Structure 1
């Protein structure tokens, strides 16, 4: 007598539940694109996304990623509501977590710092660029580069939970492609 399990042919609901990070990315993507007239307004993601890696890396605790993302999202909400770019406030938060990670001598933390600095530089160039096209290109390329960063961390299961790497990767990839479409 042979029995089949539901794992051999998972239901649509089961497959969707397994991809919850991708589904959870959709509201952020929609909110980020709502009423967007300048893709440089997405530059804050080039600071926020790496901050999602800096915080758990500073403490060497991947489990604090989602609480940190929730706190960060709540913290930037007033900036977004007031139509202000939260990038510079996020840079200050990043500096605080860099100091914490250095003080704690977190293993492997240096790579996260270098990446956060590079993404932050791209964000500042994008914000300060006089040209919509040039600034938008920095945003788009930065988001696509961070999507690759997310993919690496997802595949190697490092620094952050895979669920965060998937969620962040979907946000970065979709918004990076949309940014390219909008600037050209």
Structure 2
């Protein structure tokens, strides 16, 4: 039996090419968890993940998703580098997009706004609740719930591109597990 290289197996190459969102998520997971001493440093993801859906829903433009991710990363990264938890800044951005979506009466926006509010409540509770264990559990549960949200949106192929839903689900699950590891 001879082993085949990736170039000799086009179906494997095609499969790997289709899984680029999964592979793109892994270094971001590593960067999010690297050197993290306090699980509350992950609470911002409970605001950022729904914002990835709220922005395209409020504008009724799924194509804006990946550019919005790049802009969001450019805003979040310096805050993280300088030791600020970007959760509250992202809450302000979320409120702005709730107003925009409400004014525009974007179709399908309402459920995205409700989800963003529920995830924001989890984030604030995790940040302000006092207990690190409670914070870690809330963050993990929120990320797992958002991963289910991602899977649903990947399946129905609405609001955001499927590549984003896959990417976000991978981030949510792995970082959710990381949040649990940090508290136990």
Q: TM-score, normalised by structure 2?
A: 0.93
Aligned to 1:141: 141
Shift of 1:15: 1.8
Q: State the alpha-carbon separation in 2 of the partners of residues 19 and 94 from structure 1.
A: 29
Once residues 12 and 182 of structure 1 are traced to their aligned partners in structure 2, the CA distance between those partners, rounded to angstroms, is: 35
The equivalent residue for 2:53 is: 53
Deviation per residue, 1:79-136 (Å, 9 max, x gap): 1010110000000000111111011000111100000000000000111121110111
Determine if the alignment matches structure 1 residue 76 to structure 2 residue 68: no
Deviation at 1:27, TM superposition (A): 1.2
Number of residue pairs matched by the alignment? 176
Residues 83-162 of structure 1: pairs in structure 2 closer than 5 A: 83-162=83-162
Scaled by the length of structure 1, the TM-score of the pair is: 0.93
User: What residue ranges of structure 1 are gaps of 5+ in the alignment?
Assistant: 1-8
Q: Helix, strand or coil for the counterpart of 1:158?
A: coil
Please state how far the C-alpha of 1:76 moved relative to its aligned partner: 1.1
The secondary structure found in structure 1 opposite 2:158 is coil
1:40 aligns with 2:40: yes
Identify the residue that residue 177 of structure 2 maps to in structure 1.
177
Runs of at least 5 residues in structure 2 that lack an aligned partner in the other structure: 1-8
Q: How large is the Cα RMSD of the aligned pairs?
A: 1.0
